[in-house]
Homo-oligomer: A and B are copies of this chain.
Amino acid sequence: MSSDPEAAAAAERQLCGLVNGLSRQIEEHVRERAATLGLTGPQATALRELTGPMTMRDLADRMSCEPSNATFVVDKLEKRGLVERRPHPQDRRAKQLVLTPDGTELRDRLLELLTKDSPLAALDQDEQDTLQGLLLRARSLH
């Protein structure tokens, strides 16, 4: 079966579908939990990725999206007083994103919600490690 190139291609396509499907499943999970805090899915993703002060570009990279999109999402968070845009200490082009007290508090509550019933809970620790290794390898040679 692994010798038939056409079958291998079809298997690879199916694999892409599985990855995308799991990704949507994860995003739906985030959306669901985020809604209970009055956040949209992407807003919650941004909050989750804001592990500390960082630039817009950093956040965009972590969210795997375009910088213009990060602008859009951060606008919402800023309007709700969860995050602040400060001038970057070293680079006047850049801005430094910092969570407000409200932001850190909401982020903590969000993280707690997200760890409960994660879609990846079906996998045990060993499997998660294997998965992480494979994904890192797949992503490395983009």
Q: Chain A residues in contact with chain B, CB under 8 A? A: 2, 8-9, 11-27, 30, 48-49, 62, 64-65, 111, 114-115, 118-120, 122-123, 125, 127-128, 130-132, 134-142
**Other A-B pairs, 17, CB within 8 Å; known A9-B115, A19-B23, A23-B23:** A2-B125, A12-B118, A13-B111, A14-B132, A15-B135, A16-B30, A16-B120, A21-B64, A21-B135, A25-B142, A119-B138, A122-B138, A122-B140, A122-B141, A127-B134, A130-B130, A131-B138
Q: What are 28 contact pairs spanning A and B, CB under 8 A?
A: A2-B125, A8-B125, A9-B111, A11-B128, A11-B132, A12-B115, A12-B120, A12-B128, A14-B132, A15-B131, A16-B26, A17-B64, A19-B26, A20-B64, A21-B135, A21-B139, A22-B135, A22-B138, A24-B65, A25-B64, A25-B139, A119-B142, A122-B138, A122-B140, A123-B137, A123-B138, A130-B134, A134-B134
Q: Which of B14, B23, B137, B142 sits near A127, CB closer than 8 Å?
A: B137
| Assembly CA distance A9 to B120 (angstroms) | 11
A11 to chain B: which residues have CB within 8 Å? 128, 132
Copies of this chain held together in the complex: 2
